[in-house]
Amino acid sequence: MKKVFKLLTMGFVAIMLVFVLAACNSSSSGKGGAISVGIVLPTKDEPRWVQDEERFKAELDDSEYTTEILFSQGSSAKEKENVETLISKGIEVLIIAPHDGAAAGATVEAAKKEGITVIAYDRLITDTDAVDYYVTFDSVAVGEAQGQYLIDNASGSGVPLYLYTGAASDNNAFLFFEGAWNVLQPKIADGTFVIANSSEAEALKDKPELTRDEMNAILSQVTTNWDPSESKNKAETHLTAVSDDLKGDVAILAPNDGTSRAIADVFSTESAITSFVITGQDAEKASIQYIIDGKQTMTVFKDVRTLVKDAMGMAIEVLEGNTPETTGSYNNGAVDVKAKQTDVIVVNKENVESELIESSYYEADEFTGLE
Ligand code: GAL
C-alpha cells in the first residue's frame, strides 16, 4: 500500500514537473478559449529567437486572437511534439521557424492534414508541399552585405579571409553564404583576398555560382552550427594551423552575432593578428555593445518587429478567410512557396544610434559608451 502511495506521489510530482517545465517553455496571450495561432521557435538559447518571442508578445498584447509560443530547444523531436500539442489545442494557423528545415517537413505535413495553414517564419521548410507561406528577410542580401563590408574595408591585396557559415540543417545558411560568395568570389579570384581556412572554397574560387553540393562541401569545413563554442574551437584550430603570412590584417566572414563574438574573442587574443574586420547578423544586444566597444565591426540588422507584424498579419488574413498578400516566392525543392520579404540594414559604429536607438528598437541605457 505504502509502495503504491509512493508511486502515486512520484507520478504526481512527475506530472506537475511536466506542467511546470511546459509553462517555462511557452507563453500564451489573447482572450481565453482555444488557441487560434500557434508559434514555434527554434531555441531559447540564442538571443535572436528570444528577441522574436518578445516582439511577438508586444504585437499580441491586445490581439483578439489567442496565441501560444513554444520553443523547440534545438531538437526536431521536441519541435514535432510542440506542433502536436498546438494541433490538439485547435490552432488554425501555425507560424514556425524550424530547427532543421528538412526534418520539419513531416511535422508540418501533420498540421496540413488537419487543415492548418502553415507559415514558415524566417527559415524555409524544405522538400514538402505542406508550407503555404514564407515570411522572411532577404537572406541573400544579408550575405551580400556581409561580403561587401569586408571588401569595402580591405586594403591592398592578399588579405587573408577566414570563412565561417551557419548550420547545414538551416536553409538560410546556404542563402547567407550564396550572398557572400556572390560579392566575394570576384575579389578572391582577383587576389584581393586569400582564403585562409577552407581548401574546398579555395578549390572553387574561380566559380561565380556554386551548387548546393559545392556549398555543402565548404560548410562541412567551416560550419559553426550556429554554436558559439563550436565557432571558438574552429577559430582556435584555424589560427593554430595557418602560417604567419595568413595572419596580420585579416577579414572574417562570421554568419551571425553569436558566432561573431566567439570568433572575435579568439582573434583578438592572437598576437600575430594585427587587426581584423568581422561581420555579424541580428543586432543582438551583446553585439551592439561589442560594436560600440570596437570588438565586432558590423552587424546586419533584421528588424524583427516587421517580420512579426508580417507573420501575424498573414495569420489574421487567413483566420478572416482572406488571401494574404505576398511579394514573391521561394522554391523549397518541392514547390514555390509564396513569400513576403523584408530588407535588412547594415549597422556599424557610425550608424548604431540612428538605426537602433532612434528607431526605438533598443533603449540607449541598455548600452555603455554610446556617444
Ligand atoms: C538563421 C537566422 C539568423 C540567425 C541564425 C541562428 O536562420 O536567420 O537570424 O540567428 O539562424 O539562429
Predicted confidence (pLDDT) per residue in 144-185, tens digit: 999 999 999 999 999 999 999 999 999 999 999 999 999 999
Instruction: Tell whether ligand 1 has an atom less than 6 A from the beta carbon of residue 170.
Output: yes
Handedness of CA 111, 89, 63, 137 (dihedral sign): negative
Instruction: Tell whether ligand 1 has an atom less than 6 A from the beta carbon of residue 284.
Output: no
The yes-or-no verdict on residue 361 having pLDDT over 80 is: yes
Please give the grid coordinates belonging to residue 174: 546556404
Instruction: Tell whether ligand 1 has an atom less than 6 A from the beta carbon of residue 53.
Output: no
Instruction: Tell whether ligand 1 has an atom less than 6 A from the beta carbon of residue 123.
Output: yes
Q: φ and ψ at 272, to 5 degrees?
A: -80, -5
Comparing 57 with 9, the larger pLDDT belongs to 57
For the structural domain made of 24-131+304-341, what CATH number should be given? Answer: 3.40.50.2300
Would you say the CATH fold of 139-302+346-366 matches that of 24-131+304-341?
Answer: yes
Which pLDDT does position 335 carry in this prediction? 98
Residue 41, SS3?
strand
Please give the grid coordinates belonging to residue 245: 603570412
Domain ranges within the chain, ordered by starting residue:
24-131+304-341, 139-302+346-366
CATH of 139-302+346-366, one of 3.30.479.30, 3.40.50.300, 2.40.37.20, 3.40.50.2300: 3.40.50.2300
The atom number, within ligand 1, closest to the CA of 142 reads: 8
What is the signed CA dihedral for 307, 310, 314, 319, rounded to 10 degrees?
Answer: 90
* Choice from 281, 330, 344 to test ligand 1 binding pocket (greatest atom count within 8 A of CB): 281
For atom 4 of ligand 1, the residue with the nearest CA is: 256
Q: Is beta strand 26-29 parallel, antiparallel or unpaired with respect to 67-71?
A: antiparallel
Rounded to the nearest angstrom, the distance between the alpha carbon of 172 and the centre of ligand 1 is 7
CB 79 within 8 A of CB 39: no
Instruction: Tell whether ligand 1 has an atom less than 6 A from the beta carbon of residue 355.
Output: no
Order of all β-strands in the sheet with 93-96: 26-29, 67-71, 37-41, 93-96, 117-121, 133-137, 336-342, 328-331
Average pLDDT, integer, range 34-38? 92
* Choice from 44, 99, 122 to test ligand 1 binding pocket (greatest atom count within 8 A of CB): 122
Which pLDDT does position 31 carry in this prediction? 47
Q: How far apart are CA 80 and CA 361, in angstroms?
A: 32
Q: Is beta strand 93-96 parallel, antiparallel or unpaired with respect to 117-121?
A: parallel
- Confidence at 20, pLDDT banded by 50, 70, 90: very low
What does the mean pLDDT of the chain come to? 93
